[in-house]
A and B are shown apart, each in its own frame.
Chain A
C-alpha cells in the first residue's frame, strides 16, 4: 500500500502567519491527494481534493499543491479557527485509501 508521511508532526504558528505542511507519498499518487482538517471531538472536514482544488465553502487562505510524491498544504494568515490537526489522504492507488499520520498546527 502507499504510505503517506507528513511533516512536521507539529507546527507552532502565531495567528496571522502562514503555515506550510508537507505530505510525501512512498510512490506516485499523481494528483489523487486530499487534505482534511480535524478539530478535537469532531469528524475530519475535507479541505482540498485532487491536490489543489478547494472543497465547497473552504476559504481561499487554504491552498494545496504538488503531484507525484510531494504535496504541500499552505494556510496563509492563520486564523484562530485554523488551529487543528491536518491529514492527507491518497486515493490514486486504491484500494486501500491511505492517510498520513497528521500534522498538528498549534498556537505559538
Chain B
C-alpha cells in the first residue's frame, strides 16, 4: 500500500522568508500524481500545487514550488516570501489515478510577523 510521510509536525517561518516542508512517499508505481494541499483554520482544503510523476520539471505556482526527486521518492514544498495568510496545516498527498488520495499526517506552518 502506498504511504505518505511528513516528518515535520510543525514549522515556523518569519514573514517574507522562505520555508521548505518535507514529504516522502512509498510506491512501486512509476506513474502517479503528487499534491500539496493547504488547510487553514476554516478547514477548507485548498489545492496548492500538483506534480505528475512522469514530468521531470518541478512544478511552480507563484510563490510555491516543489522539489520532486522521483528516485528518492521525495516531494518537498518551498514557500517563498512567506505571508501571514500562508499559516495553515499543509498536507502532502499521493494519488495513482487521481481518485483516491493518500495523505500524510500534515505539517502545521506558523508565520511570524
Q: Do A and B come from one complex?
A: no
User: Interface on B for A, CB 8 Å cutoff?
Assistant: none
User: Interface on A for B, CB 8 Å cutoff?
Assistant: none
